[in-house]
Structure 1
Amino acid sequence: MGNVNASGPQTLRKGLTVLSLLKQVAPEGMGATEVARQTDIDRVTVQRLFLALESGGWVRRDDEGRRYYMGSDGQQLIRSLGSVPGGPPVPLVLAALPAMRRLARQLGDAVFLVARDGRESVCIHREVGDYPLQILATHVGKRYPLGVGSAGMALLAALPERDAQQVIKDNASRLDEYGGITVELIDRLRRNTQQRGYSIMQNYAVRGALGIGCAMTDNAGAPVMSISVSAITDRMSIKRQGEVARLLRHELNSLRRTFFCE
């Protein structure tokens, strides 16, 4: 969330409090003094949060610079998270966004944040890289049967065996809509993902594309969310697949240490 002079979940929760308050009062907006009074967050911290949220596109200010309003990115985030009631905590998602931007900048390809909703995967956010040809395999709010797409496969592979088998069974009738994927193929890819530690999905949901996905689990081992990168197949050599997976895991491990300390 920018250069706020505090870090970790506490600051992120304060940022979420500010966003939620702005959502309630839209379109009137609020100033720092009003927000401080209603949230019991001191005014200096509110101003720092406003600056960080503004730099990330979550809020915008009026021409005089005194009142702040919910930005389009903030509205989209609230909507997308609201579509997944059991999804990852909002502070965790907010913390993941700078990580996704770093990945998109480093790799040049599109990066996706995905959560599980029952037997489906749901895209929560995406960042676009600067490579001329982007594979936008999904968009915010888009749902797939869990296991279709690299992010969904990473989540499926992180489930307990019985749960994963039930999801595959429940989705069996839908799989052939996605490049002729079969139950047997999904299960084989799931086991490969478990052995490898990250998913590789090629030419199934999106032709000519290859995706790499990694999941984050909580202290109980349950999948919380996943991040994936998609690119044209020619950009995903075996060597680069491993490098992408390493970068994904590094970012997810950093987030996990902050939010799921033992």
Structure 2
Amino acid sequence: MKETGPKTFRRGLQIMEVLRTAGDDGLRITDIAAITGIQRTTVYRFLDVLIAHDYVKPTADMRTFVFNHCRFAGGPTIAHSIDRLKPVLARISAQTGDSSFLVRRENGDSLCVHRELGSYPVQVLSVTIGHKQPMGVGAAGLALLANLPKEDIRQILDLNRSRLPTFGGMTCEQMETLIRSTLERGWSAVGNAAVPGVLGVGVPIPQRSGHPTFAISVSSVMDRMPLKRQRFIVELIKKELALIS
């Protein structure tokens, strides 16, 4: 008998919820069926609909599925901003050959809401859309964190104190040093933290009022990111942002 009405709706919500709590690793069809008690054939049907409406995304190997956090990253204003900034990231990655990332703040975390890949053979792939990490361990998150009020910075560092060491042995004291350096130079640089062997530079996106909501970063392998190239990338990001301001 074909499912209709509230029962169907509840099952769809149930699948979305188990994927939401599963995190970035996602779940396989068999996992979803086991956790929810929903038959695999039914899970397939629900996933087809959820993917079509962008609530769920398949991973690259098409074996697991993840909740699309970006679908709920904010209201129309946030969604409009992301759409407006996507071409900026595409141009940055085309000109640098490296991966670029659009990140926004979500409480004490930074949330990746868009990613573009470049043409260089080695790309940073471990940070995907929907990926969250403590604010500051990535270049874009550090650019946002450094531009918050001191009280907010302190609260976020306290919140993430126990999580930071899992990112390259980071400590709150080291993060405070990175924040000071970011404010002094006007852009952030972080290496061997979020992703070992990778260095990223980040630039906050200015707002007419208040503190930045978004930041853009570009990341590549350490050998490809000497100081001169970091400065070139930062100026490129600022130039591309100026074109849409």
TM-superposed CA distance for 1:204, in Å, is: 1.2
Quick check: 1:103 aligned with 2:92? yes
Classify 1:88/1:242 alpha carbon distance in 2 versus 1 (closer, same or farther; 3 Å): farther
Where do residues 49-198 of structure 1 align in structure 2 (5 Å cutoff)?
75=54, 79-85=68-74, 89-198=78-187
TM-superposed CA distance for 1:253, in Å, is: 3.3
Cα distance in 1 for residues equivalent to 2:133 and 2:75: 17
Classify 1:73/1:143 alpha carbon distance in 2 versus 1 (closer, same or farther; 3 Å): farther
- Which of 192, 216, 234 in structure 2 is aligned with 1:203? 192
1:83-103, Cα deviation, whole Å (9 max, x unpaired) = 323796212111111111101
**If the length of structure 2 is used for normalisation, what is the TM-score?**
0.70
**If the length of structure 1 is used for normalisation, what is the TM-score?**
0.66
Cα distance in 2 for residues equivalent to 1:132 and 1:238: 21
TM-superposed CA distance for 1:251, in Å, is: 2.2
TM-superposed CA distance for 1:137, in Å, is: 4.3
Q: Which residue of 2 aligns with 1:228?
A: 217
Runs (4 or more) in structure 1 with deviation over 6 Å come to none
Query: Does the CA contact (< 8 Å) of 2:136 and 2:142 recur in 1?
Result: yes
Classify 1:87/1:199 alpha carbon distance in 2 versus 1 (closer, same or farther; 3 Å): farther
Query: Does the CA contact (< 8 Å) of 1:215 and 1:226 recur in 2?
Result: yes
Number of matched pairs: 186
Classify 1:206/1:85 alpha carbon distance in 2 versus 1 (closer, same or farther; 3 Å): same
TM-superposed CA distance for 1:174, in Å, is: 0.6
Give 1:226's aligned amino acid: A
Unaligned runs of 5+ in 1: 1-69, 258-262
Query: Does the CA contact (< 8 Å) of 1:124 and 1:141 recur in 2?
Result: yes
Quick check: 1:219 aligned with 2:208? yes
Quick check: 1:243 aligned with 2:222? no
Between the two proteins, what is the percent identity of the paired residues? 38
Cα distance in 2 for residues equivalent to 1:101 and 1:206: 22
SS at match of 2:163: helix
Classify 1:139/1:232 alpha carbon distance in 2 versus 1 (closer, same or farther; 3 Å): same
TM-superposed CA distance for 1:254, in Å, is: 3.4
SS at match of 1:89: helix
Give 2:184's aligned amino acid: Q
Classify 1:120/1:114 alpha carbon distance in 2 versus 1 (closer, same or farther; 3 Å): same
Cα distance in 1 for residues equivalent to 2:86 and 2:135: 22
TM-superposed CA distance for 1:194, in Å, is: 1.0
TM-superposed CA distance for 1:136, in Å, is: 2.2
Cα distance in 1 for residues equivalent to 2:168 and 2:193: 5
SS at match of 2:119: coil
Unaligned runs of 5+ in 2: 1-48, 58-66
TM-superposed CA distance for 1:224, in Å, is: 1.3
Classify 1:122/1:247 alpha carbon distance in 2 versus 1 (closer, same or farther; 3 Å): same
Cα distance in 2 for residues equivalent to 1:194 and 1:229: 18
RMSD: 2.3
